Amino acid sequence: MLQAIATAGNVVLATHIRPDGDALGSLLGFSSILAGMGKRVLCYLDEPIPEKFSFLSHDGQLVTDLEEVAAFAREHNNDITSICLDCGDFQRLGKCGAVMQTMRPFLVIDHHQGNSGFGDFSWIEPHRSSTGEMIYDLALQLGAAISKEAANGLYTAILTDTGSFQYNSTSRHTFEVAGDLVDLGVQPAAIASALYDNVPLVRVQLMQQVLATLELFLEGQLAIIRVSREMLQATGTTYEDCEGLVNFPRSVYGVRVAAFLKEGNDGVVTVSLRAKGNCDVAATAAKFGGGGHRNAAGFRVSGKNLMWVRDQLIAVLTPCLLSDNG
Ligand SMILES: [Mn+2]
């Protein structure tokens, strides 16, 4: 892996569809690091960088058209090293996957549990906080310089993928890397403000309506919120604007399971489940044909309305939450 990157002259970087802070921060940060090593770097994204991450700058070229990736490969006689970042499986690369695979060596750098290692060389460490943390270590091993712009990308990756240093994956090393990035010029307050103090008003108005639906059941151990199509229409928002709202019911004192019910256009209700402590919501989701992790899982139900799904969920969780009070 190290050798393949060190000797690469031309690099194409890509990440998963609907990229989050780790995906974009790692992509743009690594792009600057590789460009600083004198490599020609092309980043591919399905869509332009989302507005909320527009504060991230980078060196290297960014394209959103696969034809330009093909042109880059032709220009360099197919002497391309392709690297995919933060992508847990091949499908999540979206439409660039097939193209990435033809440019070899094809490298995979990721921290998702269950990544099968679908590259010619794969570096996967599921215990890591973020791909950004791994890219930092990689840059040190390569002896590469990390510019302030690159440091901002990697810090954003770590901050967002650890939920601001809250999740289990946050290790001593995560803080060491974050500290090193601060030495390289990152201003934590400025990054946090850029990420979290720029919420569009319509999103807060949606939050107002969604939080008004909060209900507690089973002696206050189950908290449920929901969003209807009407709420999205009335506020001019989309499902993406609902991201993170499930954390509000989860945060309530005494709540052990939180659920967020979302009504889709296609008569499908999507449910996100979050657990605190020892509840296993993956098991709950499995009863509805879904899946996930112990603490975060989900499922979908077709042809039923929000209230039907709510009542079924209460019924399924009743024995779990009322039988053991552990
Ligand atoms: Mn990640």
Per-residue pLDDT tens digits for 70-112: 999 999 999 999 999 999 999 999 999 999 999 999 999 999 9
In this structure, whether the domain defined by 202-323 belongs to CATH 3.30.470.20 is answered with no
Q: Is the pLDDT of residue 265 over 90?
A: no
**Would you say domain 2-196 falls under CATH 1.10.8.50?**
no
pLDDT band for position 324 (cuts 50, 70, 90) = low
Q: Judge whether 2-196 and 202-323 match in fold.
A: no
**Residue 305 C-alpha to ligand 1 middle, in angstroms?**
33
In whole angstroms, give the CA distance from residue 120 to residue 124.
Answer: 13
Domain ranges of the chain: 2-196, 202-323
Burial grade of 79 (CB within 10 A; 0-12, 13-18, 19 or more)? exposed
Average per-residue pLDDT in the chain? 94
pLDDT given at position 326: 45
Residue 314 Cα to ligand 1 middle (Å): 32
How many angstroms is it from 143 CA to the middle of ligand 1?
24
Q: Mind listing the pLDDT tens digit for each residue in 170-184?
A: 999 999 999 999 999
At 223, list the tokens.
Answer: 């908290």
Question: Which residues fall inside 5 Å of ion ligand 1, going by CB?
Answer: 22, 86, 161
pLDDT band at residue 266 under the 50/70/90 scheme = confident
pLDDT band at 279 (very low <50, low <70, confident <90, very high): confident
Q: Where are the beta strands (DSSP E) in the chain?
A: 10-15, 40-44, 61-63, 81-85, 106-110, 121-124, 215-217, 222-227, 257-263, 268-275, 291-292, 296-302
pTM for the predicted model, two decimal places: 0.87
